Structure 1
Amino acid sequence: MSRPQNTSGASVPKPVADLVLRGGPVHTLAGSGPGPGPASGTALAVRSGRVLRVGADADVRDLIGPATEVVDLKGRAVIPGINDAHLHATWLGALWPDTLFGDHAAPGPGPQRPLCTPAERRAAILKAGDLLARLGITSYTEPGLGPGEDAGLAGAFGMSVVEQYRNLAAEGLLRARVTALWLYGELDGPSTLDDYRAGLAALGGRDPDPAMLNFAGVKIFADGIPPMRSAYTHHCYADGSHAELLVAGENDTEREQNLTTMIVEAHHAGLQVGVHATGDRAIELMLDAVERARAERDLDLRHYVIHGDMVNPAQLQRMARLGVGLSTQAGIAVRTASMVDAVLGAQRAGSTWPLRETLDVGIPLCLTSDAPVLPPDWRREIAAADEWMGPADNPRDRVETLLRCYTVHPARQDGAETWKGTLAEGMVADLCVLAADPLTVTAAELPGVDVDMTVLGGRVVHER
């Protein structure tokens, strides 16, 4: 076959791949949703950090040159790189292999290993990067870094951490793409409107390579969590108590007004807002604020609810209409259901964390680990989500749907769905190789499937 010709008649050199993976199912997840169809191909070629071609083995043969690295999959499967959309990597690096839950059904006092120096923070980020690469994680969100935690006891969330991230990005040493949210209050604690406004006013310019490190918006703690009776709800807890918003104010009305103002002002500044909201009343306030903000300035900034334990059906419908996402942890749902029943009333846990309903109404659901609250193992979180959702009519479709909650949907949350999250041709070559095809096992079996290779932007960052 003759080489392709350009309009001048000169020969056009054929492209040569840097990396070719062949001989196993390649699941691009680029379709509109799960279905019974075959894998997208059995081979994938990468050039200059992007997916060059996906197809049968024969389709990539002409892309292999003397310098091409060729990986024989031998039946192993390729999927897009995993994106954990809520993971405290610096804190994880400080505590691992310990987690806040440990081996218990509920979180206890967390291990105390404060990061006291810039060198310790740098080492923690690098340690987390190595761990995440071994798990096939190529992107994650640090959900809260900034001056609000400069005096924090953990030393894992303040501006010194921001400096270390920027240094590592500039040196090309990050092992995953990082999205971060600014934090102007305390982690799991209060914030004031004045501090928040000061933080927004002090925001600097964009980082040099936002594809590797991107401060996308702000995080606000609206409330706590149901097991600690600190979720902001419309109803009293079983013991008669009720919670307050974590946003500072003289009374409930002022606190609610301040939360609304924070969300609206961030929206007008063109910033994404992630609101830690577990109680139904906190979620409702967040949606009211987003609806007001979008009426005043109609921007789709991918605002999202973090955790959303007690979100109700009417709120899910509003979230879908407003383009508000949900980032949640099925592993916490499974572990704390009995505690939720104890504080909210018998059988209430069954209506919390409505994962199936969230997907049914079309909300981009992100499954996350909240590591180091839980281990950062996405396979275990998918298994927990499957358990929480109950029996599936089609287990294969269920696994594919939940894989999208760790790939496609987080890319949308990052505002990056045009260049990452799937393995369609032209997308960045962020991928992982699994020892078995995840669409041939049940969700419960997925934690036993090893991650054999992780590729970030066409570069192998882990090989088992």
Structure 2
Amino acid sequence: MRADLILHNGRIYTMEGDLAPAQAIAVRAGRILAVGSNAEILPLAGLDGEAVDLKGATVVPGFVDGHFHLLEYALRMMTLDLDGLASKEDVLMKVAQKASSTPEGEWILGGGWDRNLWPDPSFPTREDIDTVAPHHPVALFSKDGHTLWLNSLALEKMGITAQTPNPAGGVIERDEKGIPTGILKETAAEMVRKRVESRSSALMCQGLERAIGELHKKGLTGLHNCEDERALSLLQELRAQGKLNFRILHHIPLANLDAAVQLGLRSGFGDDFLKIGGVKIFADGALGSRTAAMLEPYLEETDNLGILVLSKEEILEVVKKASQAGLSVAVHAIGDKANRVVLDALEEALRSQPHPLRHRIEHVQLLSPSDIPRLSRLKVIASMQPVHAISDMEMADRYWGKERCKGAYAWRSLLDQGTVLAFGSDCPVESPDPLLGIYAAVTRRRLDGSPGPDGWFPEQRISVAEAVQAYTWGNAWASGEEKIKGTLAPGKLADMTILSDDVFAIPPEAIPQTQVLGTVIGGRFVYRAPAF
């Protein structure tokens, strides 16, 4: 049997067994044919096949991002990017610039603002935006995606007034007179999102194609998407057009659970490019908005325990209904109380209704010490985002305190208990670069070296091999696809990431500077660096 593609003269890390690299890999019809030495693999070349001299480059299984918001990422690329702006005034300046070139009455959308970076970290108001864009409805999502900042015209168009009640699991912030301030949190923000982000399918498909192209350059071959039916519809449209050159596991929002059950959808339904994942549930909010549900109050907000979006009983009901229908669950939980409530619900559900489904908790940012062993015992996957740790460490220290933070982003402790880690980025909240995620997991330091040589709570650092596994096999396990992806073995899908340097051998500080030379999906290059 002859190969369509051979990569040789490189360092091929299969992630099967030990880390001893092979020299070459052969591909046929989108699947791995063989892995071995140059002498073993080069004779397999077909007459019309391609042989690529890696010149010492490193090959790993294709990186997969285990927690992503793809349509939001595409929209963010098409709208105002407010990430990293150091003051409210800087944000308003960008809004003013956009307003000056946008016809009056048209929506101005944006995201990425982070009040924790501002000199005055108090929440902004509708009046702030009114001063620079009074004639445009404006909607700006916070960096963590859990808070929406609207101006007066946007509130008017959404029909949000002093009489509008808070939705379950959400908050419409109000002033002393009961008038909405323009800040919407959690489900209150989500109820507006679909309406303000309504765009044509053709435009959105173009945006998704562009976004996927950017992800190829990062070495990504797939992702697990946490979005709604609109995103799924657009992805199906791309698939039908033969333009979805990316592998996507798509979670179902809780609001669509009944419809999914009626249709008979099950986790894993689909093909190698687009599959149904689990039911996405929110248990709490986020650290940045101080809405993550806590066992004890935030240090500087002693009356604030965050927001528990669903009770244990409500989560249990959802888990049982989903499980009976063959659907796993993917539960967003950040605070220690939220994680405990989710684990309590999953434990009770599994006790009364054993099943082979692979449930997961998304983020798992803070765990009480007694809860750390429970994920492994319950076979619950920890879907975590390493860059959150280096982004949030100062905020976590400030609001959670050093003692609680011993259980924050606890990768080492979870691995030592036998928990499966599935790494991602939560993009566009954080950068989708998996190499940055690996660096964060291994060093627990920011790119500038802070907080010091040992990193933030260094006892929770993991090895490069463990981090790479979490971006490859871990996500394949989480999606139930470990038999066809996640490692480089004969018969598996030929999804590979080609790197300029051997990330297993170079100093960890050099990992973020490593270049992606190529990305291969199904034996075909979807990205190739100009010099490669």
Matched, 1:245 2:311: no
Report if the CA contact (8 A) 1:308-1:328 is conserved: yes
User: 2:34 and 2:257 mapped to 1: Cα distance?
Assistant: 46
Structure 1 unaligned spans of 5+: 1-14, 147-158, 186-194, 248-254
Q: Deviations over 1:340-363 (max 9, x none)?
A: 222234554343111111111111
Question: Which of 21, 30, 47 pairs up with 2:7?
Answer: 21
Percent sequence identity over aligned pairs: 31
What displacement does 1:140 show?
0.3
Report if the CA contact (8 A) 1:222-1:245 is conserved: yes
The letter for the 2-side match of 1:102 is G
Report if the CA contact (8 A) 2:66-2:422 is conserved: yes
* 1:410 match: secondary structure: helix
Q: Which residue of 2 aligns with 1:188?
A: none
Q: Which residue of 2 aligns with 1:216?
A: 277
* 1:91 match: secondary structure: helix
Query: How high is the TM-score relative to the length of structure 2?
Result: 0.73
Report if the CA contact (8 A) 1:92-1:371 is conserved: yes
Distance of aligned partners of 1:330 and 1:30 in 2 relative to their CA distance in 1, 3 Å threshold: same
Q: Which residue of 2 aligns with 1:95?
A: 76
Q: Which residue of 1 aligns with 2:422?
A: 366
Q: Which residue of 2 aligns with 1:132?
A: 215
Q: Which residue of 1 aligns with 2:248?
A: 178
The letter for the 2-side match of 1:439 is F
The letter for the 1-side match of 2:375 is M
User: 2:259 and 2:20 mapped to 1: Cα distance?
Assistant: 53
User: 1:268 and 1:204 mapped to 2: Cα distance?
Assistant: 11
Aligned length: 414
User: 1:208 and 1:370 mapped to 2: Cα distance?
Assistant: 24
Matched, 1:434 2:499: yes
What displacement does 1:168 show?
1.1
* 2:519 match: secondary structure: strand
User: 2:463 and 2:387 mapped to 1: Cα distance?
Assistant: 17
Q: Which residue of 1 aligns with 2:339?
A: 283
Q: Deviations over 1:1-51 (max 9, x none)?
A: xxxxxxxxxxxxxx11000000011000012xxx5x521x10000011111
**5 Å matches for 1:225-236?**
225-236=286-297
Q: Which residue of 1 aligns with 2:118?
A: none
Report if the CA contact (8 A) 2:292-2:306 is conserved: yes
User: 1:288 and 1:208 mapped to 2: Cα distance?
Assistant: 28
User: 2:72 and 2:522 mapped to 1: Cα distance?
Assistant: 25
The letter for the 1-side match of 2:309 is L
Report if the CA contact (8 A) 2:343-2:375 is conserved: yes
Report if the CA contact (8 A) 2:312-2:344 is conserved: no
* 2:504 match: secondary structure: helix
CA RMSD for the aligned pairs? 2.6
Distance of aligned partners of 1:90 and 1:106 in 2 relative to their CA distance in 1, 3 Å threshold: closer
Question: Which of 201, 219, 229 pairs up with 1:118?
Answer: 201
Distance of aligned partners of 1:347 and 1:319 in 2 relative to their CA distance in 1, 3 Å threshold: closer
Greater length-normalized contact order (CA 8 Å, ≥ 6 residues apart): 1
* 1:403 match: secondary structure: helix
* 1:356 match: secondary structure: helix
Report if the CA contact (8 A) 1:83-1:140 is conserved: yes
Q: Which residue of 1 aligns with 2:56?
A: 75
Q: Deviations over 1:117-168 (max 9, x none)?
A: 112221121111101111111110111323xxxxxxxxxxxx3x22211111
* 2:2 match: secondary structure: coil
The letter for the 2-side match of 1:107 is D
Matched, 1:376 2:428: no
* 2:520 match: secondary structure: strand
Report if the CA contact (8 A) 1:304-1:324 is conserved: yes
User: 1:348 and 1:207 mapped to 2: Cα distance?
Assistant: 37
Q: Which residue of 2 aligns with 1:419?
A: 484
Matched, 1:325 2:381: yes
What displacement does 1:199 show?
5.3
Question: Which of 362, 366, 372 pairs up with 1:306?
Answer: 362
The letter for the 2-side match of 1:82 is F
* 1:462 match: secondary structure: strand
* 1:419 match: secondary structure: coil
What displacement does 1:209 show?
4.5
Report if the CA contact (8 A) 1:94-1:115 is conserved: no
Distance of aligned partners of 1:338 and 1:206 in 2 relative to their CA distance in 1, 3 Å threshold: closer
What displacement does 1:180 show?
0.6
Structure 2 unaligned spans of 5+: 87-111, 116-139, 143-147, 149-195, 446-453
Report if the CA contact (8 A) 2:312-2:342 is conserved: no
**5 Å matches for 1:380-395?**
380-388=436-444, 390=454
Q: Which residue of 1 aligns with 2:353?
A: 297
Q: Which residue of 2 aligns with 1:349?
A: 405
The letter for the 2-side match of 1:339 is M
Distance of aligned partners of 1:126 and 1:65 in 2 relative to their CA distance in 1, 3 Å threshold: same
Report if the CA contact (8 A) 1:232-1:279 is conserved: yes
* 1:271 match: secondary structure: coil
Report if the CA contact (8 A) 1:101-1:374 is conserved: no
User: 1:349 and 1:335 mapped to 2: Cα distance?
Assistant: 14
User: 1:208 and 1:221 mapped to 2: Cα distance?
Assistant: 23
Query: How high is the TM-score relative to the length of structure 1?
Result: 0.83
* 1:370 match: secondary structure: coil
Q: Which moved more, 1:71-80 or 1:209-218?
A: 209-218
What displacement does 1:318 show?
1.2
Distance of aligned partners of 1:206 and 1:167 in 2 relative to their CA distance in 1, 3 Å threshold: farther
Distance of aligned partners of 1:93 and 1:180 in 2 relative to their CA distance in 1, 3 Å threshold: same
Report if the CA contact (8 A) 2:340-2:371 is conserved: yes
Q: Which residue of 2 aligns with 1:107?
A: 114
Q: Which residue of 2 aligns with 1:189?
A: none
What displacement does 1:282 show?
1.6
Report if the CA contact (8 A) 1:366-1:405 is conserved: yes
Q: Deviations over 1:379-402 (max 9, x none)?
A: 111111122284789x9x811111
User: 1:341 and 1:320 mapped to 2: Cα distance?
Assistant: 27
